[in-house]
Amino acid sequence: MKERAKAFAIKAHEGQVRKNSKAAYVTHPIRVAERLEKAGFSDELVSAAYLHDVVEDTPYVIEDIEREFGPQVAQFVAAHTEDKSKSWKERKQHTINTVLHADREIKCLIIADKLDNILGLEEDMEVMGNKVWENFNAGREDQKWYNSSIVAAMYHGLNEEATPAYFNEYEQAVKRVFD
């Protein structure tokens, strides 16, 4: 299932590139999936990581994911898919609320995604400086609010043993980028 999900993501994101670089977009979901696999998560969650941006950023719909990968993978992807008809702030508030109230697997998927994004942003800042913010829908202060709010919400409902080490890695990266 994981290899099929990876191949599906590669096909779906073909021709797309990351915001501040010329890197193929699919490198992002691949890194997110690899982080979850390394942390020992289920094949369904790792597959959802490969597919987490497909519905948001390609012509595919959630029904395509369910048909190809089953209801569990589709549920994970749907929980992490933003409604692009809403404003940036509304979409981000929804993600914050999802992180606050979601079960462990969905939290872990979202934080693995956010960690990869913030590490990429950190690298881009080293090269581009503050020009990096010009490529985002929201500026530095809004991005700081969003990422700091995710950090504040992500531990809710998890005990120390249930919290992957990369949660702390994300928290530290947010501090480095915004403080």
Tokens 């950023």 label which residue? 57
Residue pair 32/53 in contact by the 8 Å Cβ criterion: no
Residues forming the active site: 56-57
Identify whether the C-beta of residue 112 lies closer than 8 Å to the C-beta of residue 32: yes
Q: Which residues contact 73 (CB under 8 A, 6 or more apart)?
A: 1, 5, 44, 47, 48, 51, 65, 66
| Pair 142, 89: CB distance under 8 Å | yes
Of 176, 58, 164, 60, the closest CA to residue 113 belongs to 164
CA-wise closest residue to 17 among 57, 66, 63 = 57
Count of beta carbons in the 10 Å neighbourhood of residue 122: 14
